[in-house]
Amino acid sequence: MTSAPVTGSPTPEQFRAKVRGWLRDHVPRKTPGEPFLQWDDEGVARSKRIQRTLWEGGIAGVTVPVDYGGLGLGSAYDRVFREEAADYRMPEEFGNAFNVVLPTLLAHGREDLKKQYIPRMLNGEHIWCQFLSEPSGGSDLAGLLTRADRDGDVWRLNGAKIWTTGGNYSDYAICLARTNPEVPKHAGLTMFVVAMADPGITVVALKLTDGSQDFCQEYIDDVVVPADHVIGDVNDGWRVATTLMMNERTAVGRGWSLGGSKGQSEDRGIAFDPALLDLARRTERSDDPHVRSLIGESWVMTAVQEQTVRRVSEAMRTGHLPGHAAALLKAMSGATGRRQGEIGLEVAGSRAAAWRPGQASRWGVGRLSSHGIGGGTTEMQRNAIAERLLGLPREPSPDRELPFSQIRKNTSPGRN
C-alpha cells in the first residue's frame, strides 16, 4: 500500500512542523477522562468535523496514495503524524474505516471503488463499519448465513449481522455474504460494499450486561447492491476477509488510536492504581495480609500486561512475531480481566452488591463484565495461539470439505 513519494515531498521534519502547526490551530486537545469513542450525535458530528479539518489542512491519509486523496508518504511520516497527534482529540469513530476498511480496499478493491470511496473517508464524509459476525455465529465467521443472490445488474442481500461497532452512525459497511452455498464454506463467500442508507437495513443498538450500548445488530432485508460493489472477486471473499482481519490485528498491535498515544511505546514506569488500596482502607481491611496480597496480585497483572503489550507490539512491528501474536494480548486481557473482577469483588465485599445512588465505584460490575468475549472470544484467541504460534494441528471438522449446504448449522439468523 505504499506508493512512490511525491516529487517534492517534504522531509519528515518539515512534515512534522506542518502537522504540529495545523493541529495546534485547528484541532481540540484531548480532555482527561473523555471516552475513547463517543457513539452519539455529538461525538460523531465532532469527529466528522475533525477529520474534515485534517483533510483541509493537507495532513489526512498520510500513507494513502495520492490517487485516492492521500499524501502518498512513507510510514516514517505516519509515525511523525501519530507522535504529533498524541495529545489531540482524534476522530476515533473512523477507526474501522482507516484501520481496517481502507487498507483492505487498497489491497483488493477495483480502481473505481477506491477512487469513489477512499477520498470520502479521508474528507470526513463517510464512517464505515464491518458486517462480519452474525447472530448465527461469530467465531465461525466462514459459516455465515447472510446470502447474496444475483438479480440482473444487482445483488440482493438477505440475513442479519451483529457486533458492529457504530452501526447506527455508519454510512457504509464492508459486508461478507454467501454467494455460493454449493461449495465448501470458505469458497462461496464474497465481500460487498453496502450503503447503510438502503431502506432494507434496520439497525438496532444492543445493550450489554453492564448496560453499555456500543454494539449494534442489523437486519438485512432485500438490500440492493450494484454488481460492481464487490471487493476482490465473487466467491473470493474469504481471501479479502483474511486481509481484513490481518489489518485489524496489525492495527491492534500498533495501537488502535488514529493518533497514537504518548507512552504507548514509551516507558512510563510501573504505576500502581490506588483504587483497590483506597477501597481496602475504607473497609478497614488494608492491614489484612490476604487483602494486601490480592491488591499486589492485581498490580502485578496490570504491570505485566502493559509490559507484554509493549513487548509484543514491538515484536510484531519488527517482525520477530507474526500478526497472529496479537492473540496473545487479547487472550491475556481476557484472563487477567476475569481475575481482576474476582479481586475487586473480594476486596469490596458487600459493597459490590449494593451502593448508594450515584456512587462511582461499582465493584460488582467489574466482575459482571469481566468476560473476554468482545472482539473475539478468548477461546478463538487460544486457537490462534495454539495453531498459528505453536503450530498445533486443527481439530478435524467436516465443514472445510463438504459443500456449505450439506453441513450442520444454526438455522435461525433472524430476529430474536
Partner 1 sequence: MQLGLSDTQQMFLDTTTKFLDGHSGPGRARELMADPEGFDRSDWDQGGQLGWYAMLVPEKYGGGSISESGLGDAALVAEAMGAHVHTGPFLATNVTAFALAEYGRDDQKERFLPSLAAGSSIGTWAYAETDSDWSAGSVALRATPTDVGYVLDGTKSYVQDAATADLFLVTARSPGGLVEVIVPAGAPGLCVQPLESLDLARRLAEVSFTGTPVGRADVVCEGADAKAAVERQLQVALVLQCAETNGATGAGLDMTVGYAKERVAFGRPIGSYQALKHRLADHRMWLEGSWATTAYAAGSIWDRRPDAAAAARVAKAHVGRWSTHILHDCIQIHGGIGMTWEYDLHLYFRRAIANEVLYGAPDDHMRHLVDIAEEAAR
Euclidean distance between CA atoms 136 and 144, whole angstroms = 7
Q: Is 328 in the site for partner 1 (CB under 8 A)?
A: yes
Q: Which is nearer to partner 1, 58 or 263 (CB)?
A: 263
Q: Is 394 in the site for partner 1 (CB under 8 A)?
A: yes
SS3 per residue for the chain = CCCCCCCCCCCHHHHHHHHHHHHHHHCCECCCCCCCCCCCHHHHHHHHHHHHHHHHCCCCCCCCCHHHCCCCCCHHHHHHHHHHHCCECCCHHHHHHHHHHHHHHHHHCCHHHHHHHHHHHHCCCCCEEEECCECCECCCHHHCCCEEEEECCEEEEEEEEEEEECHHHCCEEEEEEECCCCCEHHHHEEEEEEECCCCCEEEEEECCCCCCCCEEEEEEEEEEEECCCEECCCCCHHHHHHHHHHHHHHHHHHCCCCCCCCCCCCCCCCCCCCHHHHHHHHCCCCCCHHHHHHHHHHHHHHHHHHHHHHHHHHHHHHCCCCHHHHHHHHHHHHHHHHHHHHHHHHHHHHHHCCCCCCCCCCHHHHHHCCCCCCCCCHHHHHHHHHHHHCCCCCCCCHHHCCEHHHCCCCCCCCCC
Q: Is 383 in the site for partner 1 (CB under 8 A)?
A: yes
* Conformational region of residue 231, where left means phi above 0, alpha means psi within -120 to 50, and beta covers everything else: beta
Q: Which is nearer to partner 1, 233 or 314 (CB)?
A: 314
Question: Which residues, 6+ apart, have CB-to-CB distance to 77 below 8 Å?
Answer: 12, 15, 62, 63, 71
Grid cell, residue 167, equals 452501526
Q: Is 342 in the site for partner 1 (CB under 8 A)?
A: no
Least Cβ distance, residue 399 to partner 1 (angstroms):
15
Q: Is 264 in the site for partner 1 (CB under 8 A)?
A: no
Least Cβ distance, residue 106 to partner 1 (angstroms):
30
Q: Is 386 in the site for partner 1 (CB under 8 A)?
A: yes
Pick the binder of partner 1 from 37, 66, 113, 335 (CB under 8 A).
335
Q: Which is nearer to partner 1, 42 or 287 (CB)?
A: 287
Which of the ranges 89-97, 192-200, 213-221, 385-393 carries the binding residues for partner 1, by CB under 8 A? 385-393
Euclidean distance between CA atoms 238 and 232, whole angstroms = 10
Least Cβ distance, residue 324 to partner 1 (angstroms):
11
Least Cβ distance, residue 310 to partner 1 (angstroms):
7
Which of the ranges 11-19, 78-86, 160-168, 286-294 carries the binding residues for partner 1, by CB under 8 A? 286-294
Which of the ranges 61-69, 85-93, 326-334, 364-372 carries the binding residues for partner 1, by CB under 8 A? 326-334
Q: Is 211 in the site for partner 1 (CB under 8 A)?
A: no
Least Cβ distance, residue 166 to partner 1 (angstroms):
30
Q: Is 396 in the site for partner 1 (CB under 8 A)?
A: yes
Q: Is 318 in the site for partner 1 (CB under 8 A)?
A: yes
Sequence letter at residue 408: R
Mask of contacts with partner 1, 101-120, x by CB under 8 A? --------------------
Q: Is 343 in the site for partner 1 (CB under 8 A)?
A: no
Which of the ranges 7-15, 185-193, 331-339, 353-361 carries the binding residues for partner 1, by CB under 8 A? 331-339
Number of residues that bind partner 1 (CB under 8 A): 47
Q: Which is nearer to partner 1, 211 or 391 (CB)?
A: 391
Q: Is 34 in the site for partner 1 (CB under 8 A)?
A: no
Pick the binder of partner 1 from 34, 222, 379, 401 (CB under 8 A).
379
Least Cβ distance, residue 286 to partner 1 (angstroms):
8
The count of C-alpha atoms lying within 13 angstroms of the C-alpha of 129, restricted to the half-sphere facing its C-beta, is 24
Unique residue bearing C-alpha cell 476475569: 338
Q: Which is nearer to partner 1, 204 or 385 (CB)?
A: 385
Q: Is 293 in the site for partner 1 (CB under 8 A)?
A: yes
Q: Is 196 in the site for partner 1 (CB under 8 A)?
A: no
Binding residues vs partner 1 (CB under 8 A): 267, 269-270, 272, 274, 277, 289, 292-297, 299-300, 303-305, 307-308, 310-312, 314-315, 318, 320, 328, 331-332, 335, 379, 381-387, 389-396
